[in-house]
Amino acid sequence: MSKIKIGLIGLGVVGTEVYNTLKNFPDVEITGIAVKDTSKKRNIENFDYSILTDKPQDIIDNKENNVIVELMGGVHPALELLTSAIEKGKHVVTANKELLAKHGEELFALSEKNNTVILYEAAIAGGIPIIMPIKTILASNKITKIEAILNGTTNYILTNMDVNKSSYDVVLKQAQNLGYAEANPTNDVEGLDSAYKLTTLATIAFNHRVKFQNVYHEGITKIKSEDIKYANELGYKIKLVAYATNDSGKIDIRVHPMFVSKKETLAHIDYVTNAVTLEGFPIGKITLSGPGAGGLATASSVVGDILSIEREYGTTDYILPMMRCNHTHDGNSEIIPISETENKYYLRLHTIDRIGGIADITKTFASKRINIETILMKEIQSDNTSDIVIVTEKCKEKLISEIEHELLQSGCIKELSSKIRIS
């Protein structure tokens, strides 16, 4: 069999590692690479600059190329380029989580129409193999729950806030200096990056089409050092969790900070490490963890996808049937609104110390039929205020919102300083 020919779009950190890794595989040839600046010096030994172009459509139009590898990120022009590639009958490998979350449905439909495959292992959890295992080894399972840490930046920040007793702002600055956080970290710290990944992961795991706009997301910017301290006292760690459950097609899907019990594996996934826990039948519970980002880790998944195509290319006229989209017939799933979800809650109430204050607070909870599991009154400050920490039993989100309103209206509390759901 002749070599498969690769057109590469993007030669940043990941693209460079993909290029270097593919040199070890003689049956794969990179014919051209699209970059923004063809004159930029590349830190690649014996690099052939003649294969660079600043016109990515030229990579798509090259009739030699069998596979297009897209590593540029973002929606535009990636969407237009991959649409063109698929229409020309080319297979696609991508690490673009945002593109798949927002336009995966149309791209997979177009791919099937043109008898091509889209592989995207690197788009979910970097170097952790998760998509192919779900579609192959775990194919016999009905997966009903996902709990995952899918963003290394936020996990690094939360771990350092815990270990070093530092504030969010201080640790964010450190993460930016080390290259773990972007100059504009919004996508990471506001939960968008994890929500992009969870959209596609849940769609595959549950075999139901999930729309990105229906995925609730909340970031870590409101987490205070006090919350991390109290979490430890109560036997928890705070993590940004990508969470989804599927109950007969009713899907609860969201990304937000959670108290995770120290008894659970996810509580001990620290720094930039990622992890995905799946629950289902007959497997029970399984956790896969490893590097969720970085050039080498992501290149591992990208090159694995390329080699999966290479090994079947030319052997059949319908390659990798198990890896193709097979859930479009399910239509759009029913998403449970965040207000209707049920959780246990950690609440940190900032109160004025007065006789009967706690009694008034507990009476308000009782009026909503919300049971309190734990209540702790912390030390009184010089301004005669104190924090009261409450852990509730499971209740609906909308009741917690009503409780906050009533407590503020009644003057029982000065503010609800923190509200964090408990896994």
Q: What is the pLDDT of residues 363-393, one digit of tens each?
A: 999 999 999 999 999 888 888 899 999 999 9
For position 326, what pLDDT does the model report? 74
Instruction: Please report how the helices 152-164 and 225-234 are oriented relative to each other, as an axis angle in degrees rounded to 10.
Output: 80
Q: What's the distance, CA 45 to chain centroid?
A: 34
pLDDT digits (tens, 9 = 90+) for 350-360: 998 888 889 99
Instruction: Specify the range with the lowest mean pLDDT, choosing from 155-164, 196-205, 353-362.
Output: 353-362
Selecting among 97, 102, 197, 239, the annotated active-site residue is 197
For position 29, what pLDDT does the model report? 96
For position 248, what pLDDT does the model report? 86
For position 3, what pLDDT does the model report? 86
Does pLDDT of 33 surpass 70?
yes
Whether residue 269 contacts residue 158, with contact meaning beta carbons closer than 8 Å, is answered with no
Mean pLDDT of the chain: 95
For position 331, what pLDDT does the model report? 54
Dihedral-angle region of residue 369 (phi above 0 means left; psi in -120 to 50 means alpha; beta otherwise): left
Give dist(CA 247, CA 377) in Å, integer. Answer: 38
For position 293, what pLDDT does the model report? 87
Q: Which fold has domain 131-290?
A: Dihydrodipicolinate Reductase; domain 2 (3.30.360)
pLDDT digits (tens, 9 = 90+) for 38-58: 999 999 999 999 999 999 999
Does pLDDT of 85 surpass 90?
yes
For position 325, what pLDDT does the model report? 85
What type of residue sits at position 13?
Answer: V
For position 46, what pLDDT does the model report? 93
Does pLDDT of 295 surpass 70?
yes
For position 333, what pLDDT does the model report? 72
Burial of 13 (0-12, 13-18, 19+ CB in 10 A): middle
Does pLDDT of 259 surpass 50?
yes
pLDDT band at residue 327 under the 50/70/90 scheme = low
Indicate the pTM of the whole model.
Answer: 0.96
Whether residue 215 contacts residue 242, with contact meaning beta carbons closer than 8 Å, is answered with no
Give dist(CA 118, CA 116) in Å, integer. Answer: 7
Determine the average pLDDT of the residues in 255-282.
97
Burial of 145 (0-12, 13-18, 19+ CB in 10 A): middle
Token code pair at residue 255: 């990304």
CATH 3.40.50.720 assigned to 4-120+295-330: yes
Share of the chain above pLDDT 90, in %: 90
Give dist(CA 61, CA 95) in Å, integer. Answer: 21
Where exactly are the structural domains of the chain? 4-120+295-330, 131-290, 339-422
Share of the chain above pLDDT 70, in %: 98
For position 329, what pLDDT does the model report? 45
What CATH number matches the domain at 339-422, 3.40.50.180, 3.30.70.260, 3.40.50.970, 3.40.50.720? Answer: 3.30.70.260
Determine the average pLDDT of the residues in 109-121.
97
197 noted as active-site residue: yes
